[in-house]
Structure 1
Amino acid sequence: MAQQLSFDWPTRVALEPDDFFVSDANAAAYAMVSDWENWPDGKLALIGPQGSGKSHLARVFQHLSGAQIIAARDLGDATLAPPEAPCLVVEDVETLPHAGEEWLFHAHNHLRATGGRLLVSAASAPTRWNIALPDLASRMQGTSVIRIGDPDDTLLGAVLMKQFQDRQLSPDLRAFNYLLRNMPRSFEAVAWVVAELDHAAMAEQRSITVPLARVVLDKLGADGR
């Protein structure tokens, strides 16, 4: 019988502060978010690729500060109320509609005037955000930036494990180790590989073993990722 990883697989995405795994790749970001009371000018831009843990760190900040979390794509409604909490997170600012720029501009100024804190997240730096409102663009570009680096082997293993947990998957131990040794070292690749394994295992009614992992990694290479 194939050896299986033995864990208590959660029934939801684990985003509690104690679930966050710190390694060399994200230690600086974790330390900066945790030191939220001392952010320069009361704001911080958290930058990292998809799957790097930005949303998880936002929830760490929420736990520490009581912050309200809003997705930038939801800020297009002109009737949206001002921030309700003393601190605010706006996630994925690249998705901010132009109709929401005025709201974010006033929220920024309100938090600054009241001593609140603003955490914004994105995959790219503020200088690359497509913000049409000049006053908001200048304020975002003046925000201190902290980046989550590419995953080291320790973090890659933790992210891979979490992706399996979030999907309620229990891979063969040898398949897990095979993936760690052979997959591309990026957060995007982890998300893609686990999603493909989930779909393949369900469609073919197969366990996640080395042969299936090999098929998925071969497909990854064929797709040029």
Structure 2
Amino acid sequence: MSSSSPRQLSLGVQLKDDATFENFYAVDGQLNRQVVMALQQQLQPFGEQFIYLSGIQGAGLSHLLQAACHFAGEQGRSAQYLPLEELVSADPAALLDGLEILDLVCLDGLHWVVGRPDWERALFVFFNTMRDTGRRVVMAAAQGPRELKVSLPDLQSRLNWGLVFQVQPLDDESKRKALQMRAKARGIELTDEVAQYILHRAPRSSHDLFKTLHRLDDASLAEQRRLTIPFVKQTLGF
């Protein structure tokens, strides 16, 4: 995070260190790769000012928004990640006021706040201000902008201003490869056989799979053992 964005700390919002574009499994030619490319290009002069992402839980929306903030920081740009589920009880006008000084603002979980008049009015002002100052916004929600239950028509129109993507969840083969990619980044050797064993027995969402990998990594470091099926079985109680 760029030092020119003090709000990140004042809000108590922390970015996950491993929430990077490099850690997001996206294959060339697939839609999710287009999403990553659009986010990486967003801060360029030709980049899209507004990007809207939707997807089911576990598709990686929060990961992508945090990755965009990390990426901005690496470029020396200021950015703010706002997890709206955690901030829903905040005063929205005060929370969003002044964010136009930042190069990028990422709003995660719009579905948590739409339908509330105070939030909708504050978001309407926020989007107008960000547009007028040429700043960038990434927003994410469980539904697309047309399916979101927005009460304020003017806000509904602003959600459709830029690029809209539906982030695709990983199929089983992609989950295996993503798990192995994360393992490699941690310096862990995860064979196809062991990865398949984990996939068949651990919770299926990508988020839960990566939490399982983190747990296995900690255990293997503590016991100085490789990830084998017997070790995974012992550690996870399968």
Q: Secondary structure at the match of 2:52?
A: strand
Structure 2 unaligned residues grouped into runs of 5+: 1-15, 220-224
Structure 1 unaligned residues grouped into runs of 5+: 1-11, 220-225
Identity of aligned residues (%): 22
Residue in structure 1 matched with residue 68 of structure 2 by the alignment:
61
Cα distance in 2 for residues equivalent to 1:164 and 1:106: 43
Moved more, 57-66 or 118-127: 57-66
Residues 209 and 50 (structure 1 numbering): CA distance in 2 closer, same or farther, change over 3 Å? farther
Task: Normalising by structure 2, report the TM-score.
Answer: 0.63
Moved more, 101-110 or 149-158: 149-158
Q: CA deviation at 1:189?
A: 3.0
After superposition, the CA RMSD in angstroms is: 4.0
> 77, 84, 90: which one pairs with 2:107?
90
Task: Normalising by structure 1, report the TM-score.
Answer: 0.66
How many residues are aligned here? 198
Map 1:1-225 onto structure 2 (within 5 A).
Answer: 14-23=18-27, 24=30, 26-36=32-42, 37-39=46-48, 42-62=49-69, 63-64=71-72, 65-73=77-85, 74=87, 76-77=90-91, 78-80=93-95, 81-83=97-99, 84-96=101-113, 98=116, 99-152=118-171, 155-161=174-180, 173=191, 174-180=193-199, 182=200, 189-192=205-208
Cα distance in 2 for residues equivalent to 1:79 and 1:164: 41
Work out which structure has the larger RCO, using CA pairs closer than 8 Å and 6 or more positions apart in sequence: 1
Cα distance in 2 for residues equivalent to 1:68 and 1:20: 20
Q: CA deviation at 1:164?
A: 7.7
Q: CA deviation at 1:209?
A: 6.9
Q: Is the CA contact (8 Å cut-off) linking 1:25 and 1:152 kept in structure 2?
A: no
